[in-house]
Amino acid sequence: MSEGVYDELAGLGYSIMEGLKDALDDGCLVDVDDGICYQRLDLPNGNSIHFQKWGPGSNWKLPFYLIPKIGSKHNNAGDRLFQLNLALLRPVGDKFQWYLRRPQRMCDEYEEQLGEVQDFPEDYREYVLNCKEVTGAGNDRPATGYLLVENGGWRELITKLARLIEVCYVKHHQPIKTSSFYEDEALNDPERYANRRARIRINQWKFRWVLRRAYADRCAITGTTPHHALDACHIQNHNEDGNNRRANGILLRADLHNLFDKKLLKINPKTYRVEIDSALKDTPYGTLEGKKICKTIDGKYPSQKYLRIKYEP
């Protein structure tokens, strides 16, 4: 099995779940990790979306599926709306191509949102067959499907997927509401107005996945921490050049990330030791003063160059 492709699909799955959490109002993302289900997005209508393994009967060997369900149990095949095999999701740089297989149910809803079934382009079909082979994602050889995105960006992918899920739940009299988060225009804030320009973090999912692997899901300062409490932190500001290199990243507990961004917690680029702002010396964070950050599992520290840029006043 190709570890690179496997890890990329896993990272995409986690990132899509986070994207759907933003796109579907009031969802609650839960880490499950029980050997079948990786994550579950609980929806306010009592239903849930699962990122999990899949397979016939109780043979859960197909690695990466997204499955919207009626209810919250991931082992009840009869309650699924449809299932999406991530082996059919093709990243191309910062764009994506994704054809969805014809579902056992919801065909009318698919056609309403996505149009008619199309033949896979040859290069896409070759990619899918190779991806399914190296990840163990089934022996079938799909050749047709409904086009969800063609050379589409991250926001387009999440928006269209969220809309499809919304329509299918409505069909089952289980309405959900999509958020305005992925609309082209943000709503105005009452009484106060500002224009803000920020670089869209298209590849944040992979940046996070790379750092989680590099630090073995441990905060670089405090050590062992549940991974859902960890943030993938850019050392040099991401808005400056979109730098997602591993050397420009460090895995930190979410509260420490906040302090790091505000320069209330610094990492000395020469000694790799933590320096705490005087305003926090008499708080529990003061105990971190002088603590040396952990190396990655391959024995590396973050780039001194980027740490120096961050460290400077």
CA distance 310 to 127: 40
Q: Please count the other Cβ atoms lying within 10 Å of the Cβ belonging to residue 99.
A: 25
Quote the CA–CA distance of 269 and 12 in Å, as a whole number.
32
Residue 274: partners with Cβ closer than 8 Å, 6 or more residues away:
221, 265, 266, 267, 268, 288, 289, 290, 291, 292, 293
pLDDT exceeds cutoff 80 at 11: yes
- Alpha-carbon gap, residue 248 to 306, rounded angstroms: 6
pLDDT tens per residue across span 85-129? 999 999 988 889 999 998 877 677 788 888 889 999 999 999 999
Are the CB atoms for 87 and 131 separated by under 8 Å? yes
- Enumerate the domain spans of the chain: 3-179, 215-311
Indicate the SS3 state at residue 190.
coil
Q: Which helix H or strand E contains 146, and what residues bound it?
A: strand 144-152
The tens digit of pLDDT for each residue in 288-301 reads 999 999 999 889 99
Handedness of CA 33, 34, 35, 40 (dihedral sign): negative
For residues 129 and 196, give the distance between their C-alpha atoms in angstroms, rounded to a whole number.
Answer: 43
Q: What is the Cα 312 distance to its own chain's centre? A: 32
For 282, other C-beta atoms within 10 Å of its C-beta total 8
Diameter of the chain measured on Cα atoms: 65
60 — pLDDT class (breaks 50, 70, 90): low
Question: Range with the lowest mean pLDDT among 58-62, 126-130, 150-154?
Answer: 58-62
| Interval 173-182 mean pLDDT | 66
* Residue that the structure tokens 């994207």 belong to: 19
